[in-house]
Structure 1
């Protein structure tokens, strides 16, 4: 767990460092993140998705429920390599939605269940640990709920990697970036993807921890 925590901290720091670095490198074509997003959507035949500016740093995301590409202000108005990479990546999710990309459909279908279970999961796990010597059932339920969270984390991985793949292919094919800028954009998106990898591994490690408590308690009872 300590190793995962340290790795997560390092990757998060590295991601912010990379995006701060690439945010200072102006895009040769002078396009803003919003303009790049609108162009990518349009050229993929997507006309029902809005591109919006939202508050915060690295808060960029695609919302399949209301069909919006939400870009942080620095990305929306920025005219840098970082802005291009992030804007194209989020539009990659919109393209996934349009073509009914299976992992995205699976992840979206899991959201309502996870939203409900997350409200009670920690309390169920805590109660399960306290009641373990009496009955293993509450902790077993908590482990099952946490397993759903872990599965969600791993389902997210192909969704994120595929969105980056689509983004990089599009910005290169359409001349949005030159060869040097493409390398920077690829590096930035790689570090972004690593945050999801570390999160998935962290979730798996935590699941194994709770599962070991459950199995240990059952053996001693």
Structure 2
């Protein structure tokens, strides 16, 4: 399918947004890793302070290898920060640590979009593997119903990407509010830095959603137009 020029018509917007997002992340991280936090508080200390202030002392904060590998694991109640965030006393690290803390708060409050996304992860993983084969089998065997099953399976990835948007935007909003509320971020430069770092990261999720929708629309287009053309020829 990737050899089909039409595939890139649907997918290219998401890819371009992804490239833009990555460039903004690099630029803003390079800039705001140079802006220190007050009293030299590190990313790990930011996360621990905010978690404790919200009564989430059962959530563990750990260092994890990798670049931008920061994440919160709701299964083990563990907040994992990359070493560049865990040990770093700068505004970018504080923003990322607070963002992941926002996910821990969502988990504690049973925030619906996060709960829904967590529950469908196994389904999405299975569907993503099966969808192309089911769709191709349906087309080759001239079984439209089977092909539509493949398209529905593709839709699960789009649903996951769309559910990710409110989860990530909400976590960033919580992060900024908590950082200001607890006096970790002060002044216009520091607040602007947090907003730019988290805003750039948010574009990666938008790009993923656009790409997922593009792939899904590509297969729908094939089914509606090319599949229909093949049927009319017969």
The TM-score by the shorter chain falls in which range? over 0.9
Bigger drift between 85-94 and 121-130 goes to 121-130
Q: Secondary structure at 1:26's aligned position in 2?
A: coil
Equivalences for residues 24-173 of structure 1 within 5 A: 24-131=34-141, 134-173=142-181
Q: Deviations over 1:28-66 (max 9, x none)?
A: 221010011011100000021111111111111111111
* CA deviation profile, 1:75-119 (whole Å, cap 9, x unmatched): 001111110000000000000111111111111111121122223
* Local SS of the residue matching 1:94: helix
Q: Compare 10-19 and 207-216 and name the one that shifted more.
A: 10-19
Instruction: Give me the TM-score of the superposition, normalised by structure 2.
Output: 0.89
Give 5+ residue unaligned stretches, structure 2. 1-10
Deviations 1:115-170 (A, max 9, x none): 22223223333434444xx2223321211011111011111111100000111000
Residues 129 and 22 of structure 1, relative CA distance in 2, 3 Å threshold: farther
- Out of 113-122 and 81-90, give the one that drifted further: 113-122
Tell me if 1:17 matches 2:24: no
Q: Give the equivalent residue in structure 1 for 2:217.
A: 208
Q: Which residue of 1 aligns with 2:4?
A: none
8 A Cα contact 2:158 2:209, kept in partner: yes
What CA RMSD, in Å, does the superposition of the two structures yield over aligned residues? 1.4
2:7 alignment counterpart: none
Question: Does 2:198 align with 1:182?
Answer: no
Contact 1:29 1:177 (C-alpha < 8 Å) held by counterparts: no
Classify the secondary structure of the residue corresponding to 2:39.
coil
Going from structure 1 to structure 2, the CA distance change for 1:192 and 1:130 (only over 3 Å counts) comes to same
Q: TM-score, normalised by structure 1?
A: 0.94
Point out the structure with max Rg over C-alpha: 2
Cα distance in 2, alignment partners of residues 53 and 130 from structure 1: 49
Q: Matches of 2:195 and 2:46 in 1, distance apart?
A: 16
> Structure 2: how far apart are the matches of 1:139 and 1:208?
14
